[in-house]
Structure 1
Amino acid sequence: MAGRPEPDSNPSQYHIRYYLHAPIFAPTHLTSSASVATPIVYSFPNNSKTALPAICSDPQPDDCSFYPLCLESRYHCGPCGYPLHYGLEGCQAFWEQRDKLSPEGQDWMLKTVLCLQRKLVPYAAVDGGPQEFIGTTTCDALKEYALSTHPGCYIESGVCTLPPSDWVAIVDIIGIEAFGDLDVLKAALETMEGCLEFDF
């Protein structure tokens, strides 16, 4: 789970400590039985022109670090904002609980995780990429846009063809309490509506 930003005596550096389960970052090297949280500290200069990691322009399906390194480092939305609360925690939850999904469901998960991150690449504003979002995008606007991409990514990745057991597992992984957020509920309803129109 993402921790709160840690204060630092050097105002030019922005530090965040996250407790990330290793399978998030190295699923091919560790089994799902690995459950020891590893503290990882990311430090990045508090400067929007500083070059960010390659993952910011080329997200990977087996890596959740796009959210803290590429979004939270830019927008500083805090533990309740989209990058950490929805993006990072959601990505981690799917990895940690992927065994609840069928093989088809796990394939859907990989595609969806990658799709959601790719949709946000423009907001990462890496060097050489589009910069128009920096300084004009608020955390609320980022959340609204990001959640608006969920239905499309879910459907494009094949959620409509998954068995009912996977749908139940997906709701369980996301957490029923998440649907108390109107934006999350809206995304869920749009996904169901899209599946009703899906050409099987």
Structure 2
Amino acid sequence: MNISGEHVLLMNICKKTTNGMFYCSDRTKTYCVFQCMFEQHDISYGTVYDDCKCNISQEYTESNLTLPSQCYSPSGTDCSWYQHCLERKYQCNGTENNFAVKFATKFCNLYSRSNQDFSQDGQKWMDAVRKCLQVSLVKTIRPYLHYSCKDVNRIAFDSHTQCYVYPDLHYPSISICNLGAADYFSVFWTIQSSKVMSIDSSRRTMKRMFETLKGCSKSFLKGMSFDGPIRLLKMKLKYSFPFGSRHQLVLDDNTILLNDFVDSIAAKLHWKENGVLWFLDLDINSTVTETYIDIYLTNRNVYDLNARNTTVPSNLNTTINEMKQITETRDIKGHIGGLSIMIISLQGCLDANCDTLLFDITSTASLKAFTFFFV
């Protein structure tokens, strides 16, 4: 059963309203919340669980709801929904778990402000995703449910893959898998360059969006040539443990460490000041002592919709030549303390699998020439 804006959270006699699909296990309890069963347990028949039941005197109507009725039927076009509905109930703004409001609001406003920059297919996808992200959070604002900010953050994050791939189940052709490169990267790089989330939330969000694209059986990425406004570098790194110490690196720690490493290179080479955006993708075949990372680079003026009118010059060829140089010489140092990382090689890739290379450079410097310390 779908709940409309005028009839929110109807709690009616289960047998009558659901045509026998639901019933109360205690037959003396007449009123049950069957919409809760759909949203909380993904069950469309059978006994209503205790967390979805109420007595006859406990039904909710529009007169005693704590939020406006339109909060329960978001259109996706009103970007203030997160502030006026979700934030009104949970007040997560200012906490470390405010990702849901900040990211989704940014995504929503991106479309409202820049829909003319996308193709018709891109506009349909953006519109459907905006609604999907809001609808996926409706269950958290039901008056009979109470979550923590951490729970709301998790529910929002977990909904992303489904909303990216199939934002509207009635139209399966609307999917991230069917987007063109221009549409996808305009969304990706615009959000990547935004400073509306914590570093950790931002990295997790962009990683999820990129992994979703890579998981498509058919997408532009598999046939894309990285010799234009987006370049792909594959870097081989080796870990070493000073003073004879060793410790196990778990994947999350590894990802954080490597992102910090690439960010430090970006700071040394002034990528941000030079209008260059970057994104790191960790190779799943990484080991405790060695790893490959893919570094995607682009000209901010091409894909970042927040920077279309900027005059910051960008030359990806210069950036890549500088990367070649630091690979050959390991001419970069920092002191964050603990673990050292050494650049072993750098490849310039023309395709997503790096089957065709523009260059392949192996460091000729002494391993002692480069030491990068991490906590």
The residue number in structure 1 matching 2:23 is none
Q: Does 1:184 align with 2:205?
A: yes
The residue number in structure 2 matching 1:51 is 66
Shift of 1:101: 1.2
Shift of 1:97: 2.0
SS at structure 1 position matched to 2:75: coil
SS at structure 2 position matched to 1:97: helix
Shift of 1:79: 4.5
The residue number in structure 2 matching 1:44 is none
Q: Does 1:152 align with 2:162?
A: yes
In structure 2, stretches of 5+ residues that fail to align are 1-63, 168-174, 220-375
| Cα distance between partner residues in 2 of 1:146 and 1:183 | 12
Q: What count of residue pairs does the alignment treat as equivalent?
A: 143
| Cα distance between partner residues in 1 of 2:158 and 2:190 | 19
The residue number in structure 2 matching 1:196 is 217
The residue number in structure 1 matching 2:117 is 100
Shift of 1:194: 3.3
The residue number in structure 2 matching 1:121 is 138
Calculate the TM-score normalised by the size of structure 1: 0.62
What pairs up with 1:33-52 in 2 under 5 angstroms? 50-52=65-67
Flag the 1:66–1:106 CA change in 2: closer, same or farther, 3 A: same
Shift of 1:170: 1.3
Calculate the TM-score normalised by the size of structure 2: 0.35
| Cα distance between partner residues in 1 of 2:75 and 2:215 | 26
In structure 1, stretches of 5+ residues that fail to align are 1-48
Shift of 1:59: 0.6
Identity, % of aligned positions: 27
| Cα distance between partner residues in 2 of 1:57 and 1:151 | 22
Flag the 1:190–1:148 CA change in 2: closer, same or farther, 3 A: farther
Q: What are the Cα deviations for residues 90-123 of structure 1, in whole angstroms up to 9, with x where unaligned?
A: 2112221222211110111111111111111111
| Cα distance between partner residues in 2 of 1:149 and 1:173 | 20
Higher RCO, 1 vs 2 (CA within 8 Å, ≥6 residues apart): 1
More helix by share: 1
| Cα distance between partner residues in 2 of 1:142 and 1:122 | 10
Shift of 1:73: 0.5
The alignment's C-alpha RMSD in Å is: 2.4
Larger Rg: 2
Which of 116, 127, 147 matches 1:110? 127
Shift of 1:78: 1.1
| Cα distance between partner residues in 1 of 2:70 and 2:212 | 27
The residue number in structure 2 matching 1:71 is 86
